[in-house]
């Protein structure tokens, strides 16, 4: 609903999976005047920006979608095991049409500032175009991997060819035909992009700083029988994604690695390799918690790389991995290692030669000059907090979010930060977010925020704000959960913010698993919003919440991490 004074009950930033569903719940269920602002020219969020060659979701299509409406779920038909950006955008457009969402989304609107105005408990937003908006509730649905990280390699401004970051890919087709292409980065994105770029490039040089494990995705068109099945099994699939630690429709085995002998293990790994996909990390219960257990999977995958790649030196560089499998987000691929058997592809191992600078016609390494026409930065993101920091967000007492998060993001349940009343984040830092199949935590957050706002309105509560004490306790618990896994042992991981110069080294997502997280959030509600301060301006007393006495001990509720 639009308003002449640009004043709304709620404003949502972002029109991806999060923002679309949040718009629906606040506008259609709570009947709030609601506006969504989106910096892109269309909806889609991460899938609006990530259009690089080979881009594809690593979650399986029948689970990478909304589950809140059986009707919507059953009306849509996916075509492949893993959906690409175009199909996901079509799906989100279909949902937006079904729910008539577009009329309340303002595109090409980049929020540059958000201020909490204490005198009337409103958020005031300023956009790049100089417009201002006001709202009682501000909800961010800005994604976790949306702020492109372009490394500061000297000389980029001198480069006379074309360069692109995968997370900001042009909408027009980029031709690699007969071009000398340098791709920097071999994360999930680079591993998807290289095989596609290699198909037409004159020559592709893949600059690898840290080698990566990868398991074949085994993407394929979905059979009619499967499509029918996933429609028929809606309830079961919904139950499954809500009962697994990372929101995927497959269970993590309860067997521990050394309960099987070597022969049995090889069979388990071989079967998972043939099946393909992220299920590989679900083969054993202790893969992400025991180094010795993890070594067995890591060695299996390294042997696979060596058996695929013909050139011994290249194979050695690709398999020279010194951190645990799934310690960083594990990629899945379509012919990634096979690509290095092509005559027009070479690996530049940055452990052997380092990048010195970018020149006007290529990249100078410590060993040679590599002439290039195009550079592709598959160098990742200032993840989870980057997009927040791009906005100037100021809460109570002129506290800036950048100041509040100086030593790392300090949130309660990833949902709120002390000092920033009525600012809610969908999949914010400190929530399971990127460790999950994203639509699952997104739906849970949207529904929790909607219920919280409904509770506030019903009880005449003006502001909801995380208490300092609860946030401190939660941050400690997020660390505790991470420290129980091997994920904290990978020094260069973006989970830790280690890929961005100057960023605090703090493990940002919650590794305790989505099931436990959901139960904790529900428990907080049951205990009258324990840890949140709920107040009314007509009442100097706190009107709700359970700030001062936690009758609910978050830290005691974790036993094993659930990633």
Spatial separation of the C-alpha atoms in residues 325 and 487, rounded to whole Å: 9
Closest by CA to 303, choosing from 285, 316, 293, is: 316
48 lies in the binding site for ligand NAP (CB under 6 A): no
Letters for 210-249 (x = contact with ligand NAP by CB under 6 A, - = none) are: x---------------------------------------
61 lies in the binding site for ligand NAP (CB under 6 A): no
Nearer to ligand NAP, 429 or 545 (CB): 429
509 lies in the binding site for ligand NAP (CB under 6 A): no
Spatial separation of the C-alpha atoms in residues 282 and 261, rounded to whole Å: 18
| Cβ at position 379, least distance to ligand NAP in Å | 4
Give the SS3 label for residue 68. coil
Hey, what's the torsion of the CAs at 321, 324, 327, 330, to 10 degrees?
60
209 lies in the binding site for ligand NAP (CB under 6 A): yes
Cα–Cα distances (Å) from 416 to 71, 140, 422, 464, in that order, read 32, 10, 8, 9
| Cβ at position 301, least distance to ligand NAP in Å | 16
| Cβ at position 487, least distance to ligand NAP in Å | 12
| Cβ at position 138, least distance to ligand NAP in Å | 26
With CB under 6 A as the rule, give the number of residues binding ligand NAP. Answer: 28
CB atoms within 10 A of CB 335: 18
Out of 61, 334, 416, 499, point to the residue binding ligand NAP (CB under 6 A): 499
Q: Are 428 and 508 within 8 A, CB to CB?
A: no
| Cβ at position 54, least distance to ligand NAP in Å | 9
Nearer to ligand NAP, 185 or 562 (CB): 185
Nearer to ligand NAP, 378 or 446 (CB): 378
Residues 432-471 that bind ligand NAP (CB under 6 A): 434
Q: Which stretch binds ligand NAP (CB under 6 A): 16-24, 316-324, 375-383, 542-550?
A: 375-383
Spatial separation of the C-alpha atoms in residues 351 and 368, rounded to whole Å: 14
| Cβ at position 237, least distance to ligand NAP in Å | 19
56 lies in the binding site for ligand NAP (CB under 6 A): yes
Cα–Cα distances (Å) from 48 to 62, 437, 441, 470, 501, in that order, read 20, 18, 20, 36, 27
| Cβ at position 296, least distance to ligand NAP in Å | 23
Closest by CA to 70, choosing from 98, 109, 44, is: 98
* Residue position matching structure tokens 């790389």: 305
CB atoms within 10 A of CB 126: 16
317 lies in the binding site for ligand NAP (CB under 6 A): no
Cα–Cα distances (Å) from 234 to 225, 286, 437, 515, in that order, read 14, 30, 17, 19
Which single residue brings its beta carbon nearest to ligand NAP? 187
57 lies in the binding site for ligand NAP (CB under 6 A): yes
Q: Which stretch binds ligand NAP (CB under 6 A): 53-61, 122-130, 356-364, 543-551?
A: 53-61
Out of 22, 36, 63, 186, point to the residue binding ligand NAP (CB under 6 A): 186
Q: Which stretch binds ligand NAP (CB under 6 A): 24-32, 204-212, 298-306, 516-524?
A: 204-212
Out of 380, 409, 432, 497, point to the residue binding ligand NAP (CB under 6 A): 380
378 lies in the binding site for ligand NAP (CB under 6 A): yes
Nearer to ligand NAP, 134 or 248 (CB): 248
Q: What tokens appear for 59 in the block?
A: 């979650």
- Pairing verdict, β 463-466 and 162-165: unpaired
Spatial separation of the C-alpha atoms in residues 330 and 512, rounded to whole Å: 18
Q: Which stretch binds ligand NAP (CB under 6 A): 19-27, 187-195, 263-271, 542-550?
A: 187-195
Query: Helix 439-458 and helix 17-24: axis angle, to 10°?
Result: 30
34 lies in the binding site for ligand NAP (CB under 6 A): no
Q: What tokens appear for 386 in the block?
A: 């980057």
Give the SS3 label for residue 244. coil
Residues 339-358 that bind ligand NAP (CB under 6 A): 350, 355
Q: Which stretch binds ligand NAP (CB under 6 A): 3-11, 363-371, 373-381, 506-514?
A: 373-381
Q: Classify residue 133 by its DSSP letter.
A: E
Spatial separation of the C-alpha atoms in residues 511 and 432, rounded to whole Å: 6
**Buried/exposed 304-320: b ≥16 CB within 10 Å, e otherwise:** bbeebbeeeebbebbbe
151 lies in the binding site for ligand NAP (CB under 6 A): yes
| Residues that bind ligand NAP in the complex, under the rule CB under 6 A | 56-58, 145, 151, 153, 184-190, 192, 207, 209-210, 329, 350, 355, 378-381, 434, 492, 494, 499
């Amino acid at each position: 609903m639009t308003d002449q004074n640009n004043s709304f009950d709620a404003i949502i930033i972002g029109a991806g999976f999060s923002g679309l569903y949040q718009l629906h719940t606040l506008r259609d269920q709570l009947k709030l005047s609601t506006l969504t602002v989106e910096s892109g020219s269309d909806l889609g969020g991460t899938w609006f920006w990530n259009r690089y060659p080979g881009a594809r979701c690593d979650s399986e299509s029948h689970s990478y979608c909304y589950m809140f409406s059986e009707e919507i779920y059953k009306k849509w038909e996916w075509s492949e095991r893993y959906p690409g950006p175009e199909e996901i955008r079509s799906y989100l457009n279909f949902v937006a049409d079904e729910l008539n969402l577009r009329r309340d989304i303002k595109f090409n609107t980049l929020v540059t500032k958000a201020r909490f105005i204490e005198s009337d408990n409103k958020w005031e937003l300023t956009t790049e175009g100089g417009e201002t908006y006001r709202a009682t509730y501000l909800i961010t649905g800005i994604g976790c991997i949306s702020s492109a990280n372009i490394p500061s390699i000297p000389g980029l401004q001198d480069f006379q060819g074309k360069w692109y970051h995968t997370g900001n890919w042009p909408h027009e087709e980029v031709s690699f035909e007969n071009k000398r292409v340098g791709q920097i980065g071999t994360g999930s994105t680079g591993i998807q992009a290289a095989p596609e770029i290699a198909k037409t490039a004159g020559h592709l040089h893949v600059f690898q700083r840290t080698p990566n494990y990868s398991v074949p995705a085994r993407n394929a068109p979905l059979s009619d029988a499967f499509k029918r099945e996933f429609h028929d099994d809606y309830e079961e699939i919904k139950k499954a994604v809500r009962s697994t630690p990372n929101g995927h429709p497959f269970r993590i085995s309860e067997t521990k690695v050394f309960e099987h002998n070597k022969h049995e293990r090889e069979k388990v790994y071989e079967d998972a390799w043939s099946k393909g996909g992220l299920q590989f990390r679900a083969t054993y219960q202790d893969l992400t918690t025991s180094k010795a257990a993890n070594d067995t999977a890591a060695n299996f995958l390294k042997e696979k790389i060596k058996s695929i790649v013909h050139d011994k030196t290249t194979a050695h560089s690709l398999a020279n991995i010194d951190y645990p499998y799934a310690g960083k987000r594990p990629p899945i691929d379509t012919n990634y290692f096979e690509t290095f058997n092509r005559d027009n592809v070479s690996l530049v191992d940055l452990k052997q030669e380092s990048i010195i600078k970018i020149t006007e016609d290529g990249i100078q390494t410590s060993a040679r000059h590599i002439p290039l026409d195009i550079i592709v930065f598959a160098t990742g993101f200032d993840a989870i907090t980057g997009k927040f920091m791009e906005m100037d967000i100021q809460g109570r007492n002129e506290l800036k979010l950048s100041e509040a998060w100086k030593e790392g993001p300090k949130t309660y349940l990833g949902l709120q930060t002390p000092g920033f009343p009525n600012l809610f984040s969908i999949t914010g830092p400190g929530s399971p977010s990127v460790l999950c199949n994203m639509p699952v935590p997104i739906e849970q957050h949207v529904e929790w925020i909607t219920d919280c706002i409904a509770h506030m309105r019903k009880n005449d509560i003006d502001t909801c704000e995380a208490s300092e004490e609860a946030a401190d306790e939660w941050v400690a618990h997020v660390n505790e959960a991470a420290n129980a896994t091997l994920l904290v042992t990978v020094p260069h991981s973006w989970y830790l913010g280690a890929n961005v110069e100057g960023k605090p080294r703090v493990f940002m997502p919650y590794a305790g698993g989505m099931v436990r997280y959901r139960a904790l959030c529900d428990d907080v509600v049951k205990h009258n919003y324990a840890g949140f301060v709920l107040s009314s301006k007509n009442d100097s007393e706190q009107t709700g919440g359970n700030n001062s006495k936690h009758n609910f001990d978050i830290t005691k509720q974790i036993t094993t991490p659930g990633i």
